[in-house]
Amino acid sequence: MYIHELKEWPNFNWNSDALSPLLDRVRKRLSALAEQLATLGFNEQLEAGLRILTEDVVRTSEIEGKMLEPAQVRSSIARKLGLPEAGVHKEDRDVEGIVAVVINATQKCHEPLTKERLWSWHAALFPTGYSELKKILVGTWRDDSEGPMQVISGRAGNPFVHFEAPGHLRLPLEMEKFCTWFEEVQGLDPILKAAVAHLYFVTIHPFADGNGRIARAIADLALARADNMTQRYYSMSAQIVVERTEYYDTLEASQSATLDITDCPLCQ
């Protein structure tokens, strides 16, 4: 039985005493980062932010097996932010889409996360209506016309199934609950909220493709709110690349356990 089949779903729970030291450590590191940034001039901060945003876009795509050219990503970001490097490289649809999503999630982090906003992100990722050579539903929830949604990793032709997501008939209500939770939950540590949101969304897996990139964009949005800063100076996706095996192992284990996520590294 998967966690989304439990009667308590989606009421995640955790041991606050166990997680407090970890969250305190994160806050100290964020404070140290803020102190370092304060020593930089405006142009240096701008360069640091551009470099991190470029890495975030490149790494979130790399997790999905899509290798983007960093210089092209950097140029696309600069163009969208109106920075001097704009127009150095030609536009590429794959690059432009994920850059648009990441920038929207971070630069407009205080705007509500709604069904329509998520649909617009998905449409940006798949502007042709195709995922590689396969036509998919774009800008709406999946329909499972080709079978249940399975979350997999590994190479094409040799996939490894980590878990099976909720059926498509559940998606409208599940995503309504998710967006309401994301905007209205009170009293939850904002850093922990980013982790829970990531796990919550990945479990639902509401789109035909692109769920991982959108889940990471949601986490970036939540972290930007937590930092109260639209500019990013660290990349969650870069760390997932470093710990990719552990990430997928944890994701798989979390889906067939309980809703207690205290020991889930995704939420630490």
Mean of the pLDDT values across residues 204-221? 96
Range of the domain at 151: 3-267
**Which pLDDT belongs to residue 89?**
64
pTM of the full predicted structure?
0.91
Answer yes or no: is pLDDT of 217 > 60.
yes
Rounded Cα distance between 72 and 147, Å, is: 36
Query: Which segments of the chain does DSSP mark as H helices, in order?
Result: 16-38, 42-62, 70-81, 93-107, 115-125, 171-184, 190-204, 211-227, 236-242, 244-255
Q: 133-166, pLDDT tens digit by residue? A: 899 999 999 999 889 998 877 666 677 788 899 9
What are residue 83's phi and psi, to 5 degrees? -90, 160
**Which pLDDT belongs to residue 155?**
64
CATH code at 207? Answer: 1.10.3290.10
**Closest to 52 (Cα-Cα) out of 216, 232, 213, 225:** 232
Rounded Cα distance between 200 and 264, Å, is: 12
Mean of the pLDDT values across residues 189-198? 93
How many domains, the chain? 1
